Chain A
Amino acid sequence: AQSVTQPDIHITVSEGASLELRCNYSYGATPYLFWYVQSPGQGLQLLLKYFSGDTLVQGIKGFEAEFKRSQSSFNLRKPSVHWSDAAEYFCAVGPGGGAQKLVFGQGTRLTINP
């Protein structure tokens, strides 16, 4: 069965510090992987996606993620966080073609200390 695990429910970092959010997936075929961000009271916004090719993908707002097939991971990173990055982050996996029936992780809530 398809599944996505985000091991960290809540992470707190200081402004300017680096960030890594973990995502592990279980998927029977070649996965299409996504990271979404949700600010309080808002819908989900796509940060970045991986379909194929270079395993290090760049996204919006200075985020990047690395696909590691051997570890079934797709971790999200940012070198220096800003207070505006405080939000909930969701990793998701999907089939690619046709209807995108994404399976989401539980989410990681990010708090930024000033």
Chain B
Amino acid sequence: NAGVTQTPKFQVLKTGQSMTLQCAQDMNHNSMYWYRQDPGMGLRLIYYSASEGTTDKGEVPNGYNVSRLNKREFSLRLESAAPSQTSVYFCASSRPSGANVLTFGAGSRLTVL
């Protein structure tokens, strides 16, 4: 099984450009998440989807939108990229039970000039 797959792995944007990060999981997990990782700040939750058809804001949602396309796919969109959005983005998924654990993708490194 591939687990959690993110595309693209690297992207360079200019300020004001838009882009979408794609995420897909093949583990039949119900919940999916987008985190960003910045030096010295750990990982911070941007948006999550507890189940297909629902999305909710996390700790740092400003400047982002998400779409839970189906049970497998959860995309993150930057409508007008800003240098402050330069970061490494991680998608993760989990089952909705008390013993569930997040499985992470390999990450997408985004640079906004």
Complex contacts, A36 vs chain B, CB 8 Å = 104
Which of A67-75, A79-87, A96-104 lines the interface with chain B? A96-104
Least CB distance, A59 to chain B, in whole angstroms: 12
Q: Is the CB of B31 within 8 A of A106?
A: no
Complex contacts, A103 vs chain B, CB 8 Å = 45, 59
Complex contacts, A51 vs chain B, CB 8 Å = 98-99
Q: Is the CB of B40 within 8 A of A104?
A: no
Q: Is the CB of B42 within 8 A of A106?
A: yes
Main secondary structure of the interface of A (DSSP, over half): loop
Interface size counted on chain A using CB atoms at 8 A: 28
Q: Is the CB of B42 within 8 A of A98?
A: no
Least CB distance, A6 to chain B, in whole angstroms: 8
Q: Is the CB of B100 within 8 A of A100?
A: yes
Q: Is the CB of B42 within 8 A of A43?
A: no
Q: Given A9-B40, A99-B31, are A49 and B90 also a contact pair (CB < 8 Å)?
A: no
- Judge whether A46 is part of the interface by a CB distance below 8 angstroms: yes
- Judge whether B50 is part of the interface by a CB distance below 8 angstroms: yes
Least CB distance, B37 to chain A, in whole angstroms: 9
Q: Given A43-B104, A43-B107, are A102 and B45 also a contact pair (CB < 8 Å)?
A: yes
| Interface, chain A (partner B; CB < 8 A) | 4, 6, 9, 32, 34, 36, 41-46, 49, 51, 90, 92, 96-107
What would 9 A/B residue contacts be, using CB atoms closer than 8 Å? Answer: A34-B102, A42-B107, A96-B98, A99-B31, A99-B96, A100-B94, A100-B101, A103-B59, A104-B42
| Interface, chain B (partner A; CB < 8 A) | 4, 31, 33, 35, 40-45, 48-50, 56, 58-59, 90, 94, 96-102, 104-107
Q: Which 3 pairs of residues, A with B, have the shortest CB-CB distance?
A: A104-B42, A99-B50, A43-B104
